[in-house]
Structure 1
Amino acid sequence: MSHTSQDRYRAEPVLHENTLADVRITVAGKSMLMLGAGGGERELHLLRSFREQAEPSGTLPVLLGSGMGHALRALLEQYDGPLAVVDKELPILQITGLSDGASVQIASTPPPASGTPAASSAGQDVLATALREGRILWIAEDDPGRALAGLTRWQMEHGGKPFLPLAHPLYLRLQRDYYGTLREHLSASGTFDFWAKASYNKFAGGPPRLLLITSQYFLMGEIITACQRLGFPYHLLTLDNDEVGHTEFVERLLKAVLEFRPDFAFTINHLGVDREGVLTDLLEKLQLPLASWFVDNPHLILYLYNRLISPWTAIFTWDTDNITSLREQGFRHVHYLPLGTDPVRFAKPSSVPSAHPLKRDISFVGNSMVFKVAHRMKAGKFPRVLLSSYRQLAGEFAEHEERSVRAFLRNHKPEIHAAFTALDSPERQLSYETMITWEATRQYRARCVAQTLPFRPLIVGDKGWRQTLPEQPHPWDLHPEIGYYDELPHFYPLSTINFNCTSKQMKGAVNQRVFDVPATGSFVLTDWRVQMEDLFDPGKEVACYHTPEEAPDLIRFYLRNEAARTNIIRAARKRILAEHSYEQRVTALVRTMRDIFG
């Protein structure tokens, strides 16, 4: 309910022989009656469009404003199907009592208390029965986008029939921006029978057609480029934010499905999948499969969501360690899809300048994680018990075989786990779990990068590195962060050795740099990861250290042995071009989606 309703207008009962006869509304000193001289017949005019339908059961009536309840009761007597009421006007509802007993699906405040004249007389009528039986969806929500999202879910639960909005004129006068917006969007839903027109066979022949749910996430550019090179038709559905929050997105999705007729939708890290499950339910209704490729830890994303399990969703993860836990979470289709590279963007240059201000024997590109940890700490506002030992806890997690912070706490730190689970929201739990993961990464990166200091490295990253590596006996240089697409491909060839250490959110998987650096004809020295052996031949196609303390000797060896570096670069680049480009990744993903849903 709107907490400002009392400020916008005043509502007063109009009684006749101690029975509620009307409601007087006063706005800016001017008064008007809900019914006036027209009485109950005035509200019954709302049902004209409903009565004119050839098949009343073919739509879903939505009353925008309950008024005095005359139209609502008449509709219930003439129609035995489900209907919805959108009414958030607490001052009026406190007088009419119409929503008493309603199961309000979306509400910012509880329904009003009963006891008004109208409420006491309504106890035995058709409205009370309908409310008791759950025939009425009552929505009371300030934000029209959230109200529309609730109506969309309800629509899908009832066969996807088009809405029939029945707008009360007085409510349009009270708040046209709210009720008028709802009427426009609900009316638009009747223009098309999306559900019938969107029913078609997927993967019926020809190249696959991909509906890409996209934003500014860096990896989507590679997917688009791969589709272009493979000749796969695609349609971009761009989001302004990270979630489906408004019906405008649903309408654009339905329009894209109707016009483009994709074989499946594709997203990265579940971008665009709302927590309430609107998109998941909508795609299931459309029988349109969704491929979601996780290139970050899925467990730091998925447990915030309530309704994500669908037989029409396939999860792809770059880390095989996540496969079992995702299947245990209930996802039926979970598959491994490692990272790769764009060998056209990350291409071997024709020549490398002999003199360049960024030319070095060794460099490292990466975030210090100092400010990322601090941001999560500030966002979580954690109790002392969780903050007093977080650095030690992160260090222990970094060295432990457990793959997730949550499992590590549950199985090995019961006292901390109790405080963690006592946090009052999933968002705070996520902030804590992410903070520990980033702090583990911060400590590990500091330990690894410190091994390069005797060789005067160039560190490309944030100013947090000055805090991480203060007053070192060996000089080192810091360069501001550089762009992934336009600068990094030209930077890698400037270093004899590109040093790499992997985030602790992926204890077994390899990161992007292992593919990108050799694609440019450059050398990378990376930390060993168990999944590396499925992608490269260690020692021949990739050089790696097993502990940070092994790194200095390897750095000395490869700085002195150009032939050894060249052999590994040549072998790695050959393997990458043959097996690890994004064209191969998209081809594999499409093949899996066709096998599952074709």
Structure 2
Amino acid sequence: MNPVPRPRYQTIIDEIGMKKSMPTSKEQFEWYVNDGPEDCPIVFLGLGPEPDKIPKWFGLSDTDTLYFVECQDFVDQTDNNWNGAIPDNFTRIAADVFTAEIAANSHVIRYLPVQRAFPSFYGPLTARLLLCKSSFPAPSKIVWLPITEDDLLGKELGIAFEEAGYTVKFIDHEALGKHPGAVLPELLEDGTPNLFFSINFKGIDHFGLCSHILHEAGVQVAVWMVDNPFNVLPTVKSDYWKNIKLFVTDHSFIGPLIETGARWVTHLPLAASPHFFENTGQLPDHAHGIEDALVFVGRSAFPDKEKFFAGISVNPALLTTIHEADEAHRFDYLWWREQMKDVQLWPGNQVRQIGAGTELTSSRWKSDCLHAAGDITIFGDDGWKILENADVRPVVDYYAHLPAIYRTAPVTLNVTGMQLPAGLTQRHFDVWCAGGFLISDTNPGLQIFPKELVEQVTYTHPNEIRDLFLRYREETETKRNLRQAWRECILHDHTYRNRVDTILTALNL
């Protein structure tokens, strides 16, 4: 028995340079039936590759009033017969003619494959259609955070925005990311925010319909890329991200993002939350006996690292270069990018080759520093047990236990990963806020602090760590004064309330 051949579809190149098939059948269309007069106009958002079949599929006659909007990038890729196949009673209209009023008083039919191929063109039209009959209030002092309070920075941002006079609403980012067209119109009826503030694009679907709907409703959309932007962007499948407001924790990514097409990027470092770290926390049972210890808190690898970099190998020649170099050399993300100039930063996943190399040298740097530190107490996962000099203890609760650990230990060690060449960690802020004392490796991100404070607590080579710990292990007047100066600096200029003020000013809110 001969297998049934698979149908051959027209293929096109979509807005981000990827090949997409354009299947043709009635099932590829979605019909929005207007509840007004039966004879209201019919508007097609995309006709698909065989427009001559549409009248039969939808029971249309040659006397019906029919209009269509088509993306020119699609038209330019059709064959010579496409225009001739459009029935005579179909009239093409420009995208800006498809207003909310037209959408509200027409039957609208969407050809879905082309919507996914050119979401920057069709997304605003779909948003107009979805909201054309909605009744929602004008934007007010509300901020939507598409995270839960227990997610990364959820509690901190929630409190900081409330302190700035905003009502905060936490949004289910998973439901929103999967079904923005169904979820958002209903949410907007309960109150329209001034700002939708996403962490690492959480809550925004891959094709950006969420951002188009919010824009149609008059809501500002901003994304704070807390992690390496080019480890986050592979999930984005549309150009929409280039037009929204982007914040980055690491200023060294501003240039590369603009080179890749971003139109608005500004620096927003991490910060401290006095609400959770100033005079709070309690030592867990497994944290006793650290009064004379050098302490490190952190994971040996980020979750699902192997899955994230699955199938990616690192150039052996680059590995040889790294192994022969001095331990103090920072083989960070920008170094790896320089070695892989031909790798496209976006779109696609090939950029993860740069991230994989960076993660390898990041792990090496952390291991070298922790090994050179001498006797050290680590609160983290079992991956650290390969270090013979480490007393590895179980992880601790970030809010309930960490402030007390920082406050009790004479010195806390920070080792900054290589994924963010000029990025800072929460330790740079939390330790001082909690009343602890931090020593850290040098990196360009520390420029946001006074130079005279930074120089006294930083190292450039792993072999300097032990001497720096011994210098500050005992409580002295010099140490007390330095700790107080750092604490005042953090509480005055580097809290999440400071960061929220930066956000609101930058967005003219």
- In the superposition, the TM-score normalised over structure 1's length comes to 0.64
What percentage of aligned pairs have identical amino acids?
A: 21
Match of 2:348 in 1: 426
Deviation at 1:501, TM superposition (A): 0.9
In structure 1, give the amino acid aligned to 2:400. D
The reply to whether residue 220 of structure 1 matches residue 166 of structure 2 is no
Tell whether the 8 Å contact from 1:538 to 1:544 is kept in structure 2 after alignment. no
Output aligned runs, 1:6-25, within 5 Å.
none
Larger mean CA deviation between 400-409 and 546-555 belongs to: 400-409
Q: Which residue identity does 1:367 align to in structure 2?
A: R
8 Å contact 1:294–1:318 — kept in the other structure? yes
| Alignment coverage as a number of residue pairs | 457
Structure 1 residue 490: Cα displacement: 2.3
Show CA shifts across 1:173-208 (max 9, x none): xxxxxxxxxxxxxxxx58x623xx4584x67xxxx4
The answer to whether the 8 Å contact 2:332/2:418 transfers is no
The answer as to whether partners of 1:300 and 1:433 remain within 8 angstroms in 2 is no
Structure-2 residue corresponding to 1:16 = none
Q: Does 1:457 align with 2:376?
A: yes
Q: Any idea what SS the aligned residue of 2:160 has? A: helix
Deviation at 1:56, TM superposition (A): 2.9
- Residue 102 of structure 2 is matched in structure 1 by none
Q: Which residue of 2 aligns with 1:409?
A: 339
Residue aligning to 2:362 = 441
2:482 aligned with 1:551: no
Instruction: Tell me how far apart the structure 2 counterparts of residues 566 and 48 of structure 1 sit (CA, whole Å).
Output: 71
The SS at the match of 1:483 is: coil
Q: SS of 1:433's equivalent?
A: helix
Which structure has the bigger radius of gyration?
A: 1
Equivalent of 1:369 in 291, 301, 310 = 301
Q: C-alpha displacement at 1:460, in angstroms?
A: 1.4
Deviations 1:514-556 (A, max 9, x none): 1100111111111122331322344479611122221121111
In the alignment, structure 1 residue 356 sits paired with structure 2 residue 288: yes
The question of whether the paired residues in 2 share the 8 Å contact of 1:497 and 1:525 is answered with: yes
For residue 52 of structure 1, report the CA deviation from its aligned partner.
3.4
- Tell me if the contact between 1:373 and 1:435 (Cα under 8 Å) persists in the aligned partners: no
Structure 1 residue 255 displacement after superposition = 2.9
1:267: how far off?
Answer: 0.8
Alpha-carbon distance change, 575 to 75 in structure 1, aligned in 2, over 3 angstroms: farther
**Gap change, CA 1:446 and 1:83, over 3 Å in 2:** same
Distance 1:556 1:157 in 2: 61
Whole-angstrom CA distance in 2 between matches of 1:438 and 1:311: 26
1:438 CA displacement: 1.5
**1:210 aligned partner, one-letter code:** V
Q: CA shift at 1:54, angstroms?
A: 6.3
Structure 1: 5+ residue stretches without partners: 7-45, 85-102, 105-121, 141-146, 163-188, 412-416
Shift of 1:153: 7.5
Partner of 2:436: 522
| Shift of residue 588, structure 1, vs aligned partner | 1.5
Q: Could you say which residue in structure 2 is the equivalent of 1:193?
A: 133
Which amino acid in 1 is paired with 2:444? V
CA shift in 2, pair 1:284/1:334, >3 Å: same
Residue 64 of structure 2 is aligned with which of 59, 75, 78?
Answer: 78
Q: Are residues 1:237 and 2:158 paired?
A: no
Q: CA, structure 1 residues 426+60, in 2 after alignment: closer, same or farther (shift >3 Å)?
A: closer
> Runs of 5+ in structure 2 lacking a partner?
7-30, 76-81, 95-107
- Which amino acid in 2 is paired with 1:465? W
- 1:225, 1:51 → 2: CA distance? 46
Please state whether the residue corresponding to 2:502 is helix, strand or coil.
Answer: helix
Q: Secondary structure at the match of 1:300?
A: helix
Q: Secondary structure at the match of 2:473?
A: helix
Q: Which has more helix, going by share of residues? A: 1
SS at match of 2:177: coil
Separation in 2, partners of 1:536, 1:500? 18
> Which residue number corresponds to residue 477 of structure 2?
563
Matched, 1:56 2:41: yes
Q: Distance in 2 between matches of 1:368 and 1:484?
A: 16
The CA deviation at 1:403 is 4.3
Q: Which structure's relative contact order is higher, taking Cα pairs within 8 Å and 6+ residues apart?
A: 2
Tell me which amino acid in the other structure corresponds to 1:297.
N
Aligned residue identity for 2:68: P
